[in-house]
Structure 1
Amino acid sequence: MKLASPKRVAVLFMFLLLTVLVIAGFAVGRSSGQDMVLLNWEQKWAYPGEETAASAAAAPEEEWLKCSADSGRPLPPAGADAVWLRFDIPETEEYTALLIDKVYGTTLKAYRNNGLIYDSRQTVNFNGSKVLIPISDTQGDGPLYLWSTSGDRGFGVGGQIRLGHYDGLMNLYIKQDLVDVILGTSLMFMAVVLLACLFFVKIKMFSGGYWLVVVIFAFGILFITYSPFLALIMGSREHLTESVFDVALFMLLPAFTLYFEQIFGPGRGRHLVRFRNIQLGFSVFCLLFLLLNTLLSYRLDNLYTFLTVNVTGILMIIQLVYLLGLAVVYAYRGNKDAVIFSTGFALFAVISLSELVLYFSSSSPFHLYWWKWGVVGFILSLIVILGRGFTRNYEQALSYSRELEQFNNAAQRSEKMEIISELAASVAHEVRNPLQVTRGFLQILGERSASKEKEYLNMAMQELDRASVIITDFLTFAKPGMEEVDVFEVSGELRHVAGILVPLANLQGGTMELHLQDELFVLGSPAKFKQAFINLIKNSVEALQEDGLIKVSAWKSGQHIIISVEDNGEGMKLSELARLGEPFYSNKTKGTGLGLMVSFRIIEAMNGAIHFYSKKGQGTEVVVKLPADHNK
């Protein structure tokens, strides 16, 4: 069974992950069909001393203002330090809780029929947090009064107000904000795992990976500390939560730019480096200011809020626009990683920029929500880039493995050829002379012998001639260089070789076709060139079967002359093809393998290359590439 490629598996995994996230998002945001959304309520400003529900209920109707969910929180008049809200609750047993999406102020109390049913004092300071207030028929059927005191970000309510069953609203209350905590802890865990993995990679790759760890970890902290669900756990320790959020933000901004720089470089004119240094300086300054404000018991909150909200927000907008523009430029230049990065980053930047614009332009407090899903999409794009990097490393490792295997084979072949050369140089001349003397005496004896003895003597001389050919091949290995180097025309030499071997091909029942371009000039020895191709074409002739065909082609390609010898003979297996050129390896019964080795050495001496392509039963093709001579 064929396994799926790593790229297809990665795409399938990303699709499933996105599907799960989308379904989870819809499931979290989905509420019970029995819930009721309150679109209208009444509001009355309160002044110092007006803290009882009885005084609010006794207030004249003209003091109560009509409010709706579509309108923002009205501005309080001078002297008002709290607000009373009045809701009409339908008389039914199905509604046992009230869920307010956003509550602002330092304290929240709920009354019904002058009875206190909820008191948030000493629990949490509300700055856009959710509140779930239980109600029951035992409290009576009168309206619900809420009292909210002034805080750093105003007071009152905002967002959606929902009536429903307590269990269903509790699940919604937890799920909507618990997703932030789950996403945040998941990102922090991912960052820790990635940091552990970085200790097993090269130091050169560690810096870029380190900044990616900081980016993912900082995003995780932002998810958790920004979630209103954390207020339920942390209680009134609001300053601690905000300080942790700010520290993560001051870490994220320069780390994000540094990681971008690690991927795509410092940019033209090193403008990205200057921008990064500005961010680093601003982050260090804000961290020191945060420490000073903490030591002074938060007496500098107004100035610190201006720096961390207004100035940092503007800097974030500039950073997102600048980096997105650079990513688009790199993507336009054809960088595939930049295309993926730009897609994920564009998703994050567009969502974040939209929410930041709404945050600064809205007259009422705006709760940032969708930016976290933009972060998830961007991190998924980083995971895709990481997967592509793993795939490239895997393919590069395979490529290195193949090159190493080819290098080892070439080294072994070179070593074997060197042994043959040394052997040839030491014995060839010494053996050739006795062979010639012996053949001469046998020829003289054959002239004086009877016909039966001549037959034996002729057989002896044929074997001596065969031994002489082998010795000649040995001498070729001993002296592979070109004794007489000249520029010659390839097509003419190949026609000469074909003229010699066509009769042999006809005896084998085959034919030979020539497809040769003219004016193909190379530098080398014509005699050695013909010797090499006589060996190659002869091997093709001996491999022919019935209706055999040999095609000899030559053409110019760029700076090289390409020569192809192709036959439809019996072909070779991969194991046989891998051993071609080894000393004394031959598929022939009486072959020595030296003829093909001679061809290898001659082609190498002419600064060329030779390659074999073959399949069993489908023939063989030999391709020789020689450098073209440009003096002709």
Structure 2
Amino acid sequence: MGFKNWFTRGIFIGLIILVIGAITSPSLLSTQPEPSKITITQWDVIWEKQQSAWKDIVRRTEGWETIDLQSSVPLKPQRSQSAWYRISLPPVHWDQPGLYISMLYGFSVDVYSEEGRRLYHSARDYGSDVFQVLVPIKPSSSEQHIYIRASSTVERIGIQKPVIIGDYQDIIRDYASQGLIDILLGSSLIFVALVMFICVLCLRNIDLPSWLSLNIVILCAGIIMITHSKFIYIFFGEYGRITVGLFDIAMQFLFPALTYYFEQITGPGPYSLTSKLRKFQIGYGIIMILGVIFIYPLNNQFYGIFYFLTVTMYAIMIVLQLCLLIVLSIVYAVRKNMDAILFAIGFIVFAVVILGELVWFLFRSGQYELTIWKWGVVAFVIAFIMIMGRRIVATHEKVIEYSKELEMYNGKLQHSEKMHIISELAASVAHEVRNPLQVTRGFLQLMRNLSNDKEKEYVKLALTELDRASEIITDFLTFAKPELENVEVLNVGEELRQIEGILVPLANMQGGVFELDVEQNLFIYGNSSKFKQVFINLIKNSIEALQDGGTIRIEGGEEEGNVMICIRDNGVGMDKDELARLGEPYFSNKTKGTGLGLMVTFRIVEVMQGSIWFHSEKGKGTEAIVRFPSALEQPPISLHSGA
């Protein structure tokens, strides 16, 4: 239990990190008032089949094509490997102005001023072609031009977002905070995965395949968030080859693990579609991982083919996979419980977000950066945490329930052992004591005939006490071996009316009133004298509990194949401690009581295959409920019980 509590705290910390990331990261981008900036959405482009130097481009007056982002971005012409962009800047009056481009596609990027000074250069030999460019420019009271060259071996190339001109110190805040939320969310997911992995090593009796597959899903999602973050490529671009390799490997592990986890939760699916999809993904993933290992060292020579296999083709596979799993999760949620509904909601949000982005990515022919998918992952993890929380709470409630049952059964076992010892002792003692008592009683009866009046009073008192001792011994014998001499079908209504006739005078002496309400045709198996002994004991206790009059109500009815008899009074009642001790040897609220009456009552009811329980409240009264199997529903009971 201690380790489970630690696991819960770890998951909770991870969830807090996710929430803090969602709340604080946007604020990182807007902690300062938004300064005035200039947004440029138009520029000129010239496409090249062979790269030209800046001095050749700056002299060209023909071949330039105007681009307006608000209308559309033209595709790269065939056989073109690079493009020059000419951006006309308006007059800028900041002391230290800067130019910022939040998305520019290419593997090599150069930025030149109109004087030919190179302001920026970056070239990549790994599979990430998204640049964020920030360069300082000189203040000018007149229009100036900036030239940008972008080279790429794939279809997407060039500037994809508006060019921002503003104060360099203001822009650099936005530039430096790019992708921080991805780092924070990815780190929290890796932390959650680490906690789960430790739990897999230390906890017993868990669903190991489901835990491991979900652990891999969360771990890979965290790695993908971090390696896809712009922050990594801005500040740690020298590790780009490792970063992209980790990204591709995590992608190849993520979706097969997701399919396997889904298969563990919902089954193999119709026609084993989920299982077949998982096997295909594993095979495809192995090929792609080998490609990462052997193709990456070739410095983008086969990047076009590899991009098609790992991005375009894989995106289509993921779209088909998510469509299938969404349908199966809906079917699973309809047929299952609340946990299944939570799982389905979390997964559907996760799948729909990713599916929507991938469809738009394919529709745009790759000219789109996936950004919203991480919130689908967060929704999936939160749903998982809610499911785990519900299961932990349910497990805790079961432990408490089992502890209470164990305590109850332990108490019953101790009580049974105690009763067994007492019954054995009572039987042996009662047999040995009864005979001497009978002999003594005989001699006392003879002495009563020979004594004077004063001595007769003493003899009479001695005989009374001997009779009382004999009754106690009889109770001991009945408790030790409560044999039913003959078992017959008893009419409960008739038996209770006879008992009422016997006890009405005693009730009247106490100022009590009887109310008898018994249904017709209530029959049980038992012995008439033992039945009367049980209810005379119970009703006498109710009569003796009355104060200054009161009511004793006896009700009888049938419920689910059992005859239920309820004796209710409005006497002094009992508290919880007294109620718990009912039936214990020698416990009694009466001055001269021995507690044997209720012991015998419990024993006889047990032999007649019944049960008895009490409800009471101090000062309000007591209710005794006795249940016997109905003779119309049960076979006859045996004549004897094992002592």
Q: Same fold (TM over 0.5)?
A: yes
Report the secondary structure of 2:482's partner residue: coil
Question: Which residue number corresponds to residue 23 of structure 2?
Answer: 23
State the shift of 1:491 in Å: 2.5
Distance 1:581 1:597 in 2: 5
Alignment of 1:328-343 (within 5 A): 328-343=330-345
Distance 2:456 2:194 in 1: 91
Q: Deviations over 1:212-245 (max 9, x none)?
A: 2212111111111111221124325544322211
- Residue pair 1:99, 1:161 contacting (<8 A) in 2 also: yes
In 2 relative to 1, CA 317–449 (structure 1 residues): closer, same or farther, beyond 3 Å?
Answer: farther
Distance 1:271 1:545 in 2: 77
- Residue pair 2:84, 2:147 contacting (<8 A) in 1 also: no
In 2 relative to 1, CA 18–195 (structure 1 residues): closer, same or farther, beyond 3 Å?
Answer: closer
Question: Which residue number corresponds to residue 205 of structure 1?
Answer: 207
Choose which of 468, 471, 484 in structure 2 pairs with 1:482.
484
* Stretch deviating more after TM superposition (613-622 or 186-195): 613-622
- Residue pair 1:482, 1:524 contacting (<8 A) in 2 also: yes
In 2 relative to 1, CA 186–454 (structure 1 residues): closer, same or farther, beyond 3 Å?
Answer: same
In 2 relative to 1, CA 36–623 (structure 1 residues): closer, same or farther, beyond 3 Å?
Answer: farther
Q: Structure 1 residue 106 and structure 2 residue 107: aligned?
A: yes
Question: Which residue number corresponds to residue 34 of structure 1?
Answer: 35
In 2 relative to 1, CA 70–35 (structure 1 residues): closer, same or farther, beyond 3 Å?
Answer: farther
Q: Deviations over 1:319-351 (max 9, x none)?
A: 322322232223223510011111211211111
Question: Which residue number corresponds to residue 638 of structure 2?
Answer: none
- Residue pair 2:200, 2:211 contacting (<8 A) in 1 also: yes
Question: Which residue number corresponds to residue 459 of structure 1?
Answer: 461
In 2 relative to 1, CA 261–63 (structure 1 residues): closer, same or farther, beyond 3 Å?
Answer: closer
Q: Structure 1 residue 506 and structure 2 residue 508: aligned?
A: yes
Report the secondary structure of 2:202's partner residue: coil
Question: Which residue number corresponds to residue 411 of structure 2?
Answer: 409
Question: Which residue number corresponds to residue 420 of structure 1?
Answer: 422
Question: Which residue number corresponds to residue 591 of structure 2?
Answer: 589
Distance 2:15 2:320 in 1: 32
Q: Structure 1 residue 530 and structure 2 residue 523: aligned?
A: no
Distance 1:50 1:206 in 2: 56
State the shift of 1:355 in Å: 0.4
State the shift of 1:393 in Å: 0.8
In 2 relative to 1, CA 481–127 (structure 1 residues): closer, same or farther, beyond 3 Å?
Answer: farther
* AA matched with 2:217: V
Alignment of 1:158-169 (within 5 A): 158-169=160-171
State the shift of 1:415 in Å: 0.3
Percent identity, please. 40
State the shift of 1:380 in Å: 0.6
Question: Which residue number corresponds to residue 368 of structure 2?
Answer: 366
Q: Structure 1 residue 445 and structure 2 residue 425: aligned?
A: no
Report the secondary structure of 2:68's partner residue: strand
Distance 1:617 1:369 in 2: 70
In 2 relative to 1, CA 204–570 (structure 1 residues): closer, same or farther, beyond 3 Å?
Answer: same
Distance 1:13 1:439 in 2: 83
Q: Structure 1 residue 551 and structure 2 residue 553: aligned?
A: yes
Q: Structure 1 residue 196 and structure 2 residue 195: aligned?
A: no
Alignment of 1:291-370 (within 5 A): 291-294=293-296, 300-363=302-365, 365-370=367-372
Choose which of 392, 395, 398 in structure 2 pairs with 1:393.
395
Q: Deviations over 1:579-626 (max 9, x none)?
A: 222222222222222211212222222222222222333322222222
Distance 1:95 1:557 in 2: 91
Report the secondary structure of 2:203's partner residue: coil
Distance 1:360 1:169 in 2: 32
Question: Which residue number corresponds to residue 71 of structure 1?
Answer: 72
Report the secondary structure of 2:546's partner residue: coil
State the shift of 1:367 in Å: 0.6
Report the secondary structure of 2:619's partner residue: coil
- Residue pair 2:510, 2:549 contacting (<8 A) in 1 also: no
- Residue pair 1:112, 1:140 contacting (<8 A) in 2 also: no
Report the secondary structure of 1:375's partner residue: helix
Report the secondary structure of 2:34's partner residue: coil
- Residue pair 1:487, 1:524 contacting (<8 A) in 2 also: yes
Question: Which residue number corresponds to residue 3 of structure 1?
Answer: none
Superposition RMSD in Å: 3.1
Distance 1:65 1:59 in 2: 14
Report the secondary structure of 1:580's partner residue: coil
In 2 relative to 1, CA 135–451 (structure 1 residues): closer, same or farther, beyond 3 Å?
Answer: farther
Choose which of 246, 249, 265 in structure 1 pairs with 2:248.
246
Q: Deviations over 1:36-76 (max 9, x none)?
A: 36252212214366644444443326624132245234333
Report the secondary structure of 1:563's partner residue: strand
Distance 2:241 2:442 in 1: 112
Question: Which residue number corresponds to residue 259 of structure 2?
Answer: 257
Q: Structure 1 residue 92 and structure 2 residue 93: aligned?
A: yes
* AA matched with 2:87: R
Distance 1:61 1:502 in 2: 124
* AA matched with 1:498: E
* Stretch deviating more after TM superposition (196-205 or 591-600): 196-205
Q: Deviations over 1:61-99 (max 9, x none)?
A: 662413224523433354452232314244221772222
* Stretch deviating more after TM superposition (374-383 or 556-565): 556-565
In 2 relative to 1, CA 235–403 (structure 1 residues): closer, same or farther, beyond 3 Å?
Answer: same
* Stretch deviating more after TM superposition (568-577 or 24-33): 24-33
How does the TM-score come out when normalised to structure 2?
A: 0.88
State the shift of 1:394 in Å: 0.6
Report the secondary structure of 1:72's partner residue: coil
In 2 relative to 1, CA 615–77 (structure 1 residues): closer, same or farther, beyond 3 Å?
Answer: same
Report the secondary structure of 2:135's partner residue: strand
- Residue pair 1:509, 1:546 contacting (<8 A) in 2 also: yes
Report the secondary structure of 2:616's partner residue: strand
State the shift of 1:106 in Å: 1.7
Report the secondary structure of 2:160's partner residue: strand
**Gapped regions of structure 1 (runs ≥ 5):** 1-8
Question: Which residue number corresponds to residue 640 of structure 2?
Answer: none
- Residue pair 2:611, 2:627 contacting (<8 A) in 1 also: yes
- Residue pair 1:46, 1:81 contacting (<8 A) in 2 also: yes
* Stretch deviating more after TM superposition (267-276 or 364-373): 267-276
In 2 relative to 1, CA 296–131 (structure 1 residues): closer, same or farther, beyond 3 Å?
Answer: closer
* Stretch deviating more after TM superposition (13-22 or 535-544): 13-22
Alignment of 1:281-300 (within 5 A): 281-294=283-296, 300=302
Question: Which residue number corresponds to residue 600 of structure 2?
Answer: 598
Question: Which residue number corresponds to residue 4 of structure 1?
Answer: none
In 2 relative to 1, CA 371–80 (structure 1 residues): closer, same or farther, beyond 3 Å?
Answer: closer
**Gapped regions of structure 2 (runs ≥ 5):** 1-8, 635-643
In 2 relative to 1, CA 534–80 (structure 1 residues): closer, same or farther, beyond 3 Å?
Answer: same
How does the TM-score come out when normalised to structure 1?
A: 0.90
In 2 relative to 1, CA 346–246 (structure 1 residues): closer, same or farther, beyond 3 Å?
Answer: same
